[in-house]
Amino acid sequence: MIKQLHSIFLALLVAIFCLVTAATAQESQVLTPSKDNTLIEDATGSLSNGQGTLLFVGRTNQPQDSIRRGVIAFDIAKNIPKGSKITSVTLTLTLQKSPGGNQSIELHKLLKDWGEGTSNHPGGRGDVSTLGDATWIHNLYDTQFWSNLGGDFSSRISGVTVVGDQGNYTWQSTEQMVKDVQDWLDNPDQNFGWLLLGNETESRTVKGFASRETIESSAQPRLTVISKQ
């Protein structure tokens, strides 16, 4: 009798352990961007860089129209099972051009959809905007406009990190980054990604990060999402 009770007790413990393990099992996914672009300060919206291999953030040393803002989005709903609970989010970018010393780069949730056209320039000056590009005044060139010059984004900082010399930099998981990605999973039609905001108060603070178009796959932006069912 005692042996039978012992066996039943062990079986119950195993069953409970399996249930708890299944309930708390977490899955990690590494995503590359679905689109990215650089918003190039220009009152006419004639410049963009949809297919450029670099995302520029900050301020160049041009005498005017020197502000640059990166925009980046990931297809969360395509890669994370519906109904999952997001528990951790980290963004890793590779800094390839860095003339401006240490600078803080913020993530802000974008509030309007935007596009990536065929414009392509190797530097921060940009190329002629093409159909569907995001520009300083257009979210979709040349028929749809931002409500605010330079993009419509939340004033709340989702994440921030300081970047300096060339290399990989990671925006560590924050409560707001987790909330943003959870919102994008639950409401895919509201997934507009993040805007990268740098130091725009001083010239020559611009940073050039590898975009999804870079031929080096290891340098492409990566979003690591940990979730559980």
> What pairs with residue 68 in β-bridges?
40, 58
Q: What is the pLDDT of residue 2?
A: 52
Which token pair is 44? 């006419």
Q: What integer pLDDT is reported at residue 79 of this predicted model?
A: 97
pLDDT value at residue 4: 53
| Residues whose CB is less than 8 angstroms from the CB of residue 123 and which lie 6 or more positions away in sequence, other chains included | 54
Structural domain boundaries in the chain = 26-228
How far apart are alpha carbons 7 and 14 in whole angstroms?
11
| pLDDT tens profile 73-110 | 999 999 999 999 999 999 999 999 998 799 999 999 99
Mean pLDDT of the chain: 92
In the chain, how long is the greatest CA-to-CA distance? 89
Q: Give the span between the Cα atoms of 213 and 123, in whole angstroms.
A: 14
Chain centre to alpha carbon of residue 159? 10
Judge whether 227 and 87 are in contact, CB under 8 Å. yes
- Closest residue by Cα to residue 72 from 222, 200, 214: 222
The one-letter amino acid code at 64 reads: Q
pLDDT value at 15 more than 90: no
* Cα(68)–Cα(60) distance, integer angstroms: 8
* pLDDT attached to residue 25: 81
CA dist 178 and 157 (Å) reads 12
Radius of gyration, alpha carbons of the chain? 21
Residue type, 211: S
User: How far apart are the C-alpha atoms of 179 and 225, rounded to whole Å?
Assistant: 12
Torsion angle (degrees, nearest 10) of CA 103, 107, 108, 114: 110
Is 12's pLDDT higher than 70?
Answer: no
Asked if the model's pLDDT at residue 3 lies above 60, the reply is: no
